[in-house]
Amino acid sequence: MSEQTSSAPKPAVPHIAQKAPFAVEVEEGKIYFWCACGLSSRQPFCDGSHKGTDMQSLKWTADKSGKVWFCGCKATARQPMCDGRHKAL
Ligand code: FES
């Protein structure tokens, strides 16, 4: 018998958190963990909700301070940043 902690099915592909990027002011040298699964309630960052999926967060370090646009649709080819792909979804 398998042990399961949640009855909610976990997706095999990323969930679309939103069809737009998340604009965030980042600090140079600070480490961020971008949510790749789309299930986090702390978008665009990981809150551990990927547990039980084959996905995990992506560690990213800001090379300078300022505003960046993290991918919200989770389909970007330029993780963790938006590449405009949400416009085609
Ligand atoms: S909650 Fe989505 S990658 Fe961790």
Atom of ligand 1 nearest to the CA of 57: 3
Cβ of 52 below 6 Å from ligand 1: no
Cβ of 57 below 6 Å from ligand 1: yes
Tens-level pLDDT at each residue, the chain (89 residues): 334 455 566 777 899 999 999 999 999 999 999 999 999 999 999 999 999 999 999 999 999 999 999 999 999 999 999 999 999 99
Cα separation, 3 vs 75, in Å, equals: 31
Question: What's residue 8's pLDDT?
Answer: 64
Cα separation, 10 vs 23, in Å, equals: 27
Where are the chain's structural domains?
A: 15-89
Question: What's residue 2's pLDDT?
Answer: 39
Q: Which residues contact 12 (CB under 8 A, 6 or more apart)?
A: 53, 54
Pick from 16, 32, 49, 73 the residue to mutate for probing ligand 1's pocket: most ligand atoms within 8 Å of its CB: 49
